[in-house]
Chains A and B, each alone.
Chain A
Amino acid sequence: ELKVEQNPLFLSMQEGKNYTIYCNYSTTSDRLYWYRQDPGKSLESLFVLLSNGAVKQEGRLMASLDTKARLSTLHITAAVHDLSATYFCAVEVEGTDKLIFGTGTRLQVFP
């Protein structure tokens, strides 16, 4: 059974600093997603990573995928307050559209 572990669960960081969120999964998959969720809101798609070595960047966020290590990272560069949210990774069960989500990382950026 596919399991997804995400850490840290909570991240409090100062504006301007860099940090990385990690997402490990237990069985093979060829699709990994990152989503953002603001309080009381739905999930906003950030990235979909489709192959080993895939790297995608949008603004201050960069996501990468290592399928051999079964690891994805979401790197935050020079954090700003607007990035405060909960970030989820989700791994797709092969051959389906079923997503297994990590526990989420609640990011708080302070001045």
Chain B
Amino acid sequence: KAGVTQTPRYLIKTRGQQVTLSCSPISGHRSVSWYQQTPGQGLQFLFEYFSETQRNKGNFPGRFSGRQFSNSRSEMNVSTLELGDSALYLCASRGGPGETQYFGPGTRLLVL
């Protein structure tokens, strides 16, 4: 069974640009969550989606948005990039209650 996949793996952008990251969960998983990891703030929750509905959102500005498609794939978008958005963005999926949440390899974003 293939794991969680994320694309692209690396991105370099400049301030003010926008970026879209993609996440494909494990086949059959309908729950997808996104996290941001930085050396200063650690791992912070961004969003949680289930069956195309955003169920929870973390304490991030409105520049951060996301969506989930009918095939459970998810995207997150960051507009008007700031230097502080440089981070590793991780996506996780889970199949059902009692299962662990599996993380993808991450997208490393560098904002110059």
Contacts and interface: CB of A to CB of B under 8 A. Distances in A.
A, B from the same assembly: yes
A45 B100 contact: yes
Contact of B56 (A33, A35, A44, A98): A98
Interface residues of B, number: 24
Contact of B100 (A33, A42, A93, A101): A33
B58 to A, nearest CB: 8
Q: For A33, A98, A100, A103, which residue has the most chain B Cβ atoms within 10 angstroms? A: A98
Interface string B31-56: 10101000000111100101000011
Given A42-B90, A42-B106, A99 B42 contact: no
Interface string A80-101: 0000000010100100111111
B103 interface: yes
Contacts, number: 56
Contacts of A35: 103
A65 B42 CA distance: 23
A99 B101 CA distance: 9
A88 B43 contact: yes
A48 B92 CA distance: 14
Interface residues of A, number: 21
A97 B42 contact: no
A33 to B, nearest CB: 6
Interface string B84-110: 000000101010001111111110000
Nearest to A103: B42
Interface of B: 31, 33, 35, 42-45, 48, 50, 55-56, 58, 90, 92, 94, 98-106
4 A-B pairs closest in CB distance = A101-B43, A43-B103, A48-B100, A45-B100
Interface of A: 33, 35, 41-45, 47-48, 50, 88, 90, 93, 96-101, 103-104
